Structure 1
């Protein structure tokens, strides 16, 4: 795994040891960022199930100001720390250990008026509650009309066309996985 583009381009990232996490491959990561816009003009990203932290590091490399990562797996947390160290800019990353859904409420209470411009949702497939997670972010006012959601799932699964005020605008399949993207939906 490596950083594909931007400030950290070419830096090698470590994968989480074992088989409990599914790292997003470089090919999928490159395609994904080409779809959502290869570079960003600031903003804050959230990775609710961060794994190795690769998506957040890629987002910051491409112009996101700050990344928030949630992860409960101890080996993954150690890997995230090592990968953040590779950036030499640890101040751009905030890592919350523990349950992602609890961390969402903690983050909202500790950071009033903070809203994410980019959200990655790649939960363990057995724990997939993406609709509920997006609905909770809306209720906690952590997202706005500029937010883009990137949701990864098994290719056999699909999310509704609309979740609250956010509509699905893209689905891409890569081997055994699918990625669906949502942004603010405006009629007319």
Structure 2
């Protein structure tokens, strides 16, 4: 696993042993950032100078890729102890300690945000319906800025209904990549009450 583009292009990233995390494959990350870079609803401005949240961070590959491509800062939420060690090592290897903040914890019960993020990545374990729970919790805790761009990775056959607690989110795109499906959403344009 490596950083695909930007200032850290080619930097190898460590992965946690075992099956506790499922890092986003290089080719899926490449497809995701290509889509963000060229989509009429995103573009370079969606990444460059953005405050990024990488929830269910695992190795931190999504947040580190964003930093490599010009994001201003990245916060990483991860609860697994082994994955946290790997995440710290990857941030150190990329020399991103100044722009990265690690928050040990559960993205479905996050701490209060210091500042909202305009680009949010969620890559939880598949099949546990964690994306809707995390989106609601992160929004209530102030992590998701109004009109933020949210990218959630689920299993290919998992639906992401934008109703009930997710009724304010707007679907922008959805693409399959092997066993994964990437859902691109726009957060509501007003803060959570």
Q: Normalised by the shorter chain, which TM-score bucket?
A: 0.7 to 0.9
- In the TM superposition, 1:171-186 aligns within 5 A as 171-184=174-187
Residue from 56, 59, 64 that aligns with 2:63: 56
Secondary structure of the residue aligned to 2:62 is helix
- TM-score, normalization by structure 1: 0.87
The aligned length equals 180
Q: Higher helix share goes to which structure?
A: 1
User: Please, which runs of 5 or more residues in structure 2 have no aligned partner?
Assistant: 38-42
What is the CA–CA distance in structure 1 between the aligned matches of 2:105 and 2:72, rounded to whole Å? 24
What is the CA–CA distance in structure 1 between the aligned matches of 2:81 and 2:139, rounded to whole Å? 29
What is the CA–CA distance in structure 1 between the aligned matches of 2:88 and 2:176, rounded to whole Å? 30
Aligned-residue offset at 1:147: 0.8
Aligned-residue offset at 1:63: 1.1
Between 1:142-151 and 1:15-24, the stretch displaced more is: 142-151
What is the CA–CA distance in structure 2 between the aligned matches of 1:14 and 1:31, rounded to whole Å? 21
Cα 1:184–1:126 change in 2 (3 A) is closer
Residue from 159, 165, 168 that aligns with 1:165: 168
Establish whether residue 99 from structure 1 lines up as the match of residue 106 from structure 2.
yes
What is the CA–CA distance in structure 2 between the aligned matches of 1:136 and 1:20, rounded to whole Å? 22
Cα 1:145–1:107 change in 2 (3 A) is closer
After superposition, the CA RMSD in angstroms is: 1.9
CA contact (8 A) 1:21 1:51 kept: yes
